[in-house]
Amino acid sequence: MKHHLNVAVRFTIVTTIVFGLLYPLVVTGLSQLIFPRQANGSLIEKNGQIIGSRLIAQGFTSDKYFHPRPSAAGNGYDPTSSGGSNLGPTNKQLVDRVTQDVAKLQQENPGTPIPADMVTTSGSGLDPEISPASAEFQIPRVAKARGISGDALRMVVARHMAARQLGVLGEARVNVLELNLDLDENYPAK
> Above 90 in pLDDT, residue 99?
yes
Q: Domain boundaries in the chain?
A: 1-40, 42-186
Task: Residue 131: name the closest of 172, 181, 167 by CA.
Answer: 172
Q: What is the pLDDT of residues 30-57, one digit of tens each?
A: 999 998 888 888 888 888 888 888 888 8
Which letter, b or e, does each residue of 106-128 get, where b requires 16 or more Cβ atoms within 10 Å of its Cβ?
eeebeeeebbebbbbbbebbbbb
Give the separation between CA 67 and CA 49, rounded to whole angstroms: 23
> Above 80 in pLDDT, residue 84?
no
Q: Which helix (H) or strand (E) holds 162?
A: strand 161-162
pTM given for the model? 0.80
**Burial of residue 79, with CB atoms counted within 10 A of its CB: 0-12 exposed, 13-18 middle, 19 or more buried:** middle
> Above 90 in pLDDT, residue 129?
yes
Q: What is the pLDDT of residues 142-156, one digit of tens each?
A: 999 999 999 999 999
Type of residue at 91:
N
Q: What is the DSSP string of 27-54?
A: HHHHHHHH-HHHHTT-EEEETTEEEEET
